[in-house]
Amino acid sequence: MRQGLSGKHSSAYWGFIRILEELEERRPPIVLLENVAGFLTSHGGKDFQAALLALNRLGYSVDAFILDAARFVPQSRVRLFVVGTLSSVHGRWKDTRTPSFFEGPLRPAALADYIFHHPEISWSVRQIPNPPEKTRLRLVDLLEKVPENDPLWWSKERTEYLSSQMSDKHAGTLQGMKEKKSWSYGTVFRRVRNGVSRAELRTDGIAGCLRTPKGGSAKQILIQAGYGKVKARLLTPRECARLMGADDFNLDRIPLNQALFGFGDAVCVPAITWIAENYLNPLIQELIKEDEPIQEMYYAEKRPFKQSA
């Protein structure tokens, strides 16, 4: 998010706003947006403010929450979601003197503070049920059975070079995995630390966040170690599909990089399903039932919000 809304991909947001603007009276009553959690603090929070005010100008009051896909699949994928709801009443929020009302599993302190300290934004903050705890699934449960002689596995030399890029701590962890009389698994991303390329090993059973493969460092590497051996390969497209909750996605004739790019830039299916069932569907039912259906909300002036009879 270093470039924020001026970046190549984030600037597409303004194209989305332009489309909503041109739709005029045909604008959808609800919009759901997704971005990386860092969008909240991009350029000191100014990018997030600009994005929400743009929705406000189009008649949408907004809500925001943060959800990690690791609650549903064994992948660490923390995302910031924004819901915009068309409304003639702006600036509504809960009557409270502290941000504590907003804070919870889906609105951590940083987001709760942001909501509380930006009354210029037209908020419609809804109560949301707590999401499930982290999934009991582990990375090993989603792996394909790749034969030992399959060319997907890296050569011994390439694997040893990857190991040489690890810090002493991660190399020690890998050595412990290697000495076990059973297979254990981890994932690796290459990162530049203090100008040096490092291979960072994760072994908690949760994969790192899938990314678009713009370069070798963006591709997630699987480590399999045990019985005195260390093996390495890239995650397969099918494994990426499973990590996104899309195991039945048709991958026929899709090149490797295209598949990895698609899943790295996608949304996690069970996370979106949970949002639909616990946020969007109840909101839609309220919109159908009443003209101004937001319950337990207050005007910005802190007068009780009375629903129409």
Label residue 79 by pLDDT band (50, 70, 90): very high
Question: Where are the domain boundaries for CATH 3.40.50 in the chain?
Answer: 4-135+267-289
Q: What is the pTM of this model?
A: 0.86
Alpha carbon separation from 122 to 5, 45, 76, 116, 258 (Å, rounded): 20, 16, 31, 11, 39
Q: Residue 94: what residue type?
A: K
Dihedral of CA atoms 118, 124, 125, 128 in degrees, nearest 10, equals -150
pLDDT tens for each residue of 256-275:
889 999 999 999 999 999 99
Kindly report which listed range (69-83, 118-132, 173-187) carries the lowest average pLDDT score.
118-132
1/145: higher pLDDT: 145
Q: What is the pLDDT of residue 160?
A: 97
Q: What is the pLDDT of residue 220?
A: 94
pLDDT tens for each residue of 203-220:
999 999 999 877 556 789
CA pair distance 163, 171, nearest whole angstrom: 7
Closest CA to 173 of 203, 142, 138, 128: 203
CATH number for domain 4-135+267-289, candidates 3.90.320, 3.40.50, 3.90.480, 1.10.10:
3.40.50
Residue in the block written with tokens 């504590």? 100
Q: What is the pLDDT of residue 299?
A: 35
Label residue 247 by pLDDT band (50, 70, 90): very high
Q: Residue 220: what residue type?
A: Q
Per-residue pLDDT averaged across 124-139, rounded?
93
pLDDT tens for each residue of 62-72:
999 999 999 99
CA pair distance 216, 208, nearest whole angstrom: 15
Contacts 24+ apart (CB under 8 A), 191-199: 191/217, 192/217, 197/165, 198/165, 198/166, 198/167, 199/162, 199/163, 199/165, 199/166, 199/170
Alpha carbon separation from 156 to 75, 108, 151, 182 (Å, rounded): 27, 44, 12, 20
pLDDT of 136 above 60: yes
User: How many CA atoms are closer than 13 Å to the CA of 164, on its beta-carbon side?
Assistant: 6
Closest CA to 243 of 191, 188, 205, 217: 205
Q: What is the pLDDT of residue 244?
A: 98
pLDDT of 138 above 70: yes
For 255, other C-beta atoms within 10 Å of its C-beta total 9
pLDDT tens for each residue of 14-73:
999 999 999 999 999 999 999 999 999 999 999 999 999 999 999 999 999 999 999 999
Question: Is residue 60 exposed (0-12), middle (13-18) or buried (19+ Cβ within 10 Å)?
Answer: buried
Containing 231, the helix (H) or strand (E) segment is strand 229-234
Containing 31, the helix (H) or strand (E) segment is strand 30-36
Please list, in sequence order, all residues whose beta carbon lies within 8 angstroms of the beta carbon of residue 48, skipping any fewer than 6 positions away.
Answer: 39, 40, 41, 42, 114
Q: What is the pLDDT of residue 110?
A: 95
